[in-house]
């Protein structure tokens, strides 16, 4: 009876049942997409405080480990003290940034709103200059002209549109405040009991998954943690340095009689958007350049040149020094990670998309290398007909393609010459032995 049961419910049967069940569920989900999306959004809103808590705990895990392993390693309650010190440092840093930056940002915004009429007039004059320069009819540029009345009307329309939802917005603010407090408390518990949580997850994993697959899963999670941690903290440090350099550079240009308005506000915009890889500096430069353009068009031109130089410095010098090879992705895959992550999850997706693609890229590359190695495939065979490809890769790894190619060619030539010489020597020795035997045989025959 047991053999019949095993024969009916074999692995292949279970796999086919799983595929059919997944297809049925997918069909039902697509036919009821609005219901399913509503349920998923509701579930996401419920667990969002814990997702936020996990992100906070992940970001503070590195300073917690630093305090625990260095400054507080002789204390009994070193874990709790390390968590306390990490949160105190984070709160002090936020308060210090708010105290230094927030007043200047508010002053910049107040000045921008107070002089918006003058700035719009400057912008309209710039439109007229461009129209005269390129012989464009003035009527065709009316849609690009702005006035103070237009902006006020648009603001009033927005206020009237959102006025009935004020009660709903206030409730959302209250719910968000409660969620923030919940996330903060949950992050403290996650950091305090992280060893226990990891141990429980490992027990569950090894209880239901075969050991080789469980070991591989643990390795993947460790790789993910290392990549995410190094990337996020590297980008935070890099963005802070770029914001400070932007502030200093704009202040220097302002001292050199190149008018640069709203320096603190623009520096903060550049620093925050610089967290986004590849597109970050340009995303921050567009609104900043538009603000400066309303004040002084020539200053906007100088600012654009400054941002281009700053972006090149960040991409070629500062970024590689700080981030190192934390991702190791080609530019195309970085672009794919940003676009796909931003399209699915917005601003957080643009930040997390690059390390996620880096992890997938690393795992797929390891899988392909293992398959090729198991099949006995020679990677040099891929470059048949492409003479410079192996030498170029070797040179890229060592820093000198031509030298590596020359050394490799010389080494191969010396090896072949050595082999040929050894073969010739052995042939000569064999011929000498044969001649000696022949001479000995002839001499014996003569004697007889």
Banded pLDDT at 164 (limits 50, 70, 90)? low
d(CA 138, CA 42): 52
Residue 114 CB coordination number (10 Å): 9
pTM: 0.62
Residues in Cβ contact with 406 at an 8 Å cutoff, skipping those fewer than 6 apart: none
Number of H helices, E strands in the chain: 16, 0
pLDDT tens per residue, range 86-98: 999 999 988 887 7
Give me the percent of the chain exceeding a pLDDT of 90: 10
For the cut 80, the answer to whether the pLDDT of residue 160 exceeds it is: no
pLDDT tens per residue, range 341-388: 888 777 778 778 888 888 888 888 888 888 888 888 766 555 444 444
Helix (H, G, I), strand (E, B) or coil at 147: coil
> Which of 283-292, 387-396, 417-426 ranks highest by mean pLDDT?
283-292
The average pLDDT across 419-433 equals 44
| Residue of 249, 364, 348, 334 lying closest to 299 (CA atoms) | 249
Strands (E), 179-305: none
Using CA atoms, how far residue 264 sits from 296, 304, 323, in Å, is 17, 17, 26
């Amino acid at each position: 009876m047991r053999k019949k049961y095993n024969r009916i419910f074999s692995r292949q049967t279970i796999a086919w049942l799983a595929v059919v069940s997944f297809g049925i569920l997918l069909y039902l989900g697509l036919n009821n997409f609005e219901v399913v999306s509503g349920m998923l959004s509701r579930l996401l809103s419920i667990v969002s405080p814990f997702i936020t808590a996990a992100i906070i705990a992940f970001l503070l895990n590195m300073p917690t480990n630093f305090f625990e392993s260095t400054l507080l390693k002789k204390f009994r309650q070193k874990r709790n003290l390390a968590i306390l010190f990490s949160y105190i440092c984070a709160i002090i840093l936020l308060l210090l940034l708010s105290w230094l930056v927030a007043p200047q940002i508010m002053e910049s915004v107040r000045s921008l709103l107070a002089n918006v009429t003058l700035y719009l007039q400057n912008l309209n004059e710039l439109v007229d200059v461009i129209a005269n320069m390129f012989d464009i009819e003035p009527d065709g540029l009316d849609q690009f002209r702005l006035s103070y009345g237009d902006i006020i009307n648009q603001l009033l329309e927005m206020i009237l549109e959102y006025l009935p939802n004020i009660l709903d917005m206030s409730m959302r603010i209250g719910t968000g405040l409660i969620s923030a407090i919940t996330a903060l408390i949950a992050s403290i518990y996650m950091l305090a009991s992280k060893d226990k949580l990891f141990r429980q997850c490992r027990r569950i994993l090894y209880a239901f998954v075969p050991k080789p697959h469980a070991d591989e899963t643990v390795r993947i999670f460790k790789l993910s943690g290392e990549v995410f941690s190094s990337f996020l903290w590297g980008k935070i440090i890099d963005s802070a340095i770029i914001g400070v350099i932007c502030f200093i550079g704009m202040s220097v240009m302002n001292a050199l009689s190149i008018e640069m308005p709203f320096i603190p506000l623009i520096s903060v915009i550049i620093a925050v958007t610089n967290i986004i890889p590849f597109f970050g500096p340009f995303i921050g430069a567009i609104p900043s350049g538009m603000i400066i353009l309303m004040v002084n068009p020539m200053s906007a031109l100088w600012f654009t040149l400054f941002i281009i130089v700053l972006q090149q410095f960040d991409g070629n010098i500062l970024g590689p020094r700080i981030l190192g090879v934390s991702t190791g992705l080609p530019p195309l895959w970085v672009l794919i990670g940003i676009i796909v992550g931003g399209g699915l999850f917005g601003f957080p997706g643009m930040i997390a998309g690059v390390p996620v693609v880096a992890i997938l890229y690393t795992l797929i590359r390891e899988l392909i290398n293992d398959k090729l190695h198991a099949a006995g495939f020679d990677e040099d065979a891929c470059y048949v007909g492409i003479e410079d490809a192996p030498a170029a890769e070797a040179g890229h790894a060592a820093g000198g393609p031509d030298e590596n190619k020359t050394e490799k060619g010389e080494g191969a030539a010396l090896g072949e010459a050595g082999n040929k010489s050894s073969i010739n020597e052995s042939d000569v020795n064999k011929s000498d032995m044969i001649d000696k035997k022949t001479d000995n045989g002839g001499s014996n025959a003569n004697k007889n």
